[in-house]
Structure 1
Amino acid sequence: MALDSESFSILLDTIRRFIQERLVPAENHVEEYDEVPQDIVEEMKELGLFGLSIPEEYGGIGLSMSQECQVAFELGRTALAFRSVFGTNVGIGSQGILMDGTPAQKHEILPRVASGELIMSFALTEPDAGSDAAALKTRAEADGDEYVLNGTKRFITNAPRAGAFTLMARTGGPGASGVSAFIIPAALPGLRLGKTDKKMGQRGTKTCDVILENVRVPASAIIGGVPGQGFKTAMKVLDRGRLHISAVSCGIAQRILHESTAYARERKQFGKAIGEFQLIQAMLADSQAEMLAGWSLVQDVSRRFDLKPPHMSDPEISMQASCTKLFCTEMVGRVADRGVQIHGGAGYINEYKVERFYRDVRLLRLYEGTTQIQQLIIGRELLKSH
């Protein structure tokens, strides 16, 4: 699926204007009050941002992976909290249903997700299961034609906003084959939320624990209706999410570079702009080269992703998505560090936005699989194929 080139060009121009005219001016509000203004959320719904990756037949825009990455790049050029509002609807919250859900699940859930009426969240991580996702302990015990769920999920993005969760629970024995994916409405009896997490950065994003105590759901809540497929669903979803985050990383690297270049032109030391000093130019040049390398990698792998059979896993593409995520998220960390250095003491002061971007990008190396998990995936695939 993909939007025709003319329509996509109009969409991209509209999103760019929205970012510059509405989101960038609201960045200080988000930083100060730790929230995205509701009027902006409503405008996001009107623009169709909650349904970017959902096919038109379910009320979405139906972007291809490469088109989604171009939009994600633009969204990376402002505070990451804005993208987070609808990020789970576009990615990990909806894609499992789209890829593996039953026709009834798709028609019931996806139109509401695409419109923004329903915020979906993805609940995989637990207090004792993060990178080792197959070790999760949340259990779903069969009881007639229902399942009873007990357990705790941790650091769940958009949980305080969510109307439903794509939630992984153990229906069988140990390991990946015992995990099933469920659609869990947030309002069910026995489901409650922990306190909202206070994080290093990304103010305006919302995460918290999701606690399940004897939560009952019908067997039809299992995505695809087949137990034991949840881990496979999660891994397929993460391939797409890793490319999306890579594109976001390139976008925020571009924004940091823009802020750093502007400061280097204006700030004077020893009688001239610091941008005239070669060591400042070297830091700017390294950031520009790395950002372009990362963005080229995102564009290439996202096009390869679009060429594979829909909803099918491909070990080679998964490895390339991991390479992209590893490089781009590590790259933006280096760009942010140089940005602070170019700003000098001002780079450590909140008034200059490079300080908050420095904190924001640190998370990119952790979610959707840590850098170390990407290294393991890449190394394992190389040993298999060579």
Structure 2
Amino acid sequence: MATNAKTRKAARYAVPVAVAGVAAATVAMVPAFANSGGPVLPQVTAQQLIEKVAASDVQQLSGSAKISTDLGLPSLASGLLGGGGVSGGSANPEDKVAQLANGTHTVRVAADGPDRQKLTFVDGKDEYSLIHNGADVWGYDTKANEVWHEKDAAAGREAGKDHKKTADRLAASPQQMAQDVLKAAGPTTDVSVGDTAQVAGRDAYQLVLKPKQAGSTVGSVKIAVDAKTGVPLRVQLLAAEGGKPIVDAGFTKVDFAKPSADTFAFTPPKGAKVTEGAAEAGKGRGDHDKQWKGLESLPGFGALTGGAGDKGDVKVLGEGWATIARIDSGAGKSLKDIENDKDAPKQAKQFLDSLGGKVTGTFGEGRLFKTRLVNALITDDGKVYVGAVTKDALVKAADANK
């Protein structure tokens, strides 16, 4: 199924692993001996299972999936990500897919090759559908009766070219999540075969990825692979601190028959508001602004974020599971300025209160924004250190790069 990093719209909240390629030399050749109550399947090594996934030529499927995300977000931050629902408001796919970063959602999936895919997010009686059909990409919110439309820039290219723009918006399937994780696995990852399992009524092997480096908040990633087709059926992201999965995305039903052509047909309903995506995208302010979108949307934080634009600077520290992004807003205004400002808006004060306790080091002082996966250290001088790493790793990075 042609899709993103997504999810990397939802991926930027889920698996921020920053290395490329599956290196065969680093794969632990551990065969699947233990089944722990799962189906009895022929033994395979991790390398053989990765090759099975890579060799899978399934391009047609339909079914349902459930995606549960428990990042342990503070309530205010959860609200900034759109709360628990997937309906209402703008029909822009970026807004809808980002909401997968919180709560549990049901998704209906259909695919017929690289030119036709459909994801329908179900929220009670309300639905949001993202449809790619040839040259057109549609988003439709039934509750708001709003439609988003964009021409697929890749649709007119010759066969074999990348449908990247469409892929970036169709990232919510367990299949794509697994492919993104496998592409990111490299020398910093230990890969083995775990217990067998049954997913959506199908026998599956489980590929297990574990960070070799210390300091990651990720304990492991488990990918259930269909024993017959090689299609990833479920992805579970487990925290190093234990507890239920941070992300658990898996098919509950799956059928590999060709979906009917009318599955991907779409005509805007009468009376629906239609927004052309290309025109909307032209109003954007660039990638740096997106880094600060949630923070600068709060009154009182505009000066801290530097207002957007070209003032900021992003530097990548480390590699693999221990990657940290150092963001310098270039603003010069600190958290202390907001904390001590009697005229600062209430929302700004609430955001500061939602952060973790104060953190100190040779870098100075700051605040920790903590989730079960991604942690961020916001220093008093306006710098941000963020990654899927522990508090200690962030402090160490801030001390070394102050």
Normalising by structure 2, report the TM-score: 0.26
Q: Which has the higher contact order (CA 8 A, sep 6+)?
A: 2
- Structure having the larger proportion of residues in strand: 2
User: Which structure has greater helix proportion?
Assistant: 1
With normalisation by structure 1, the TM-score equals: 0.27
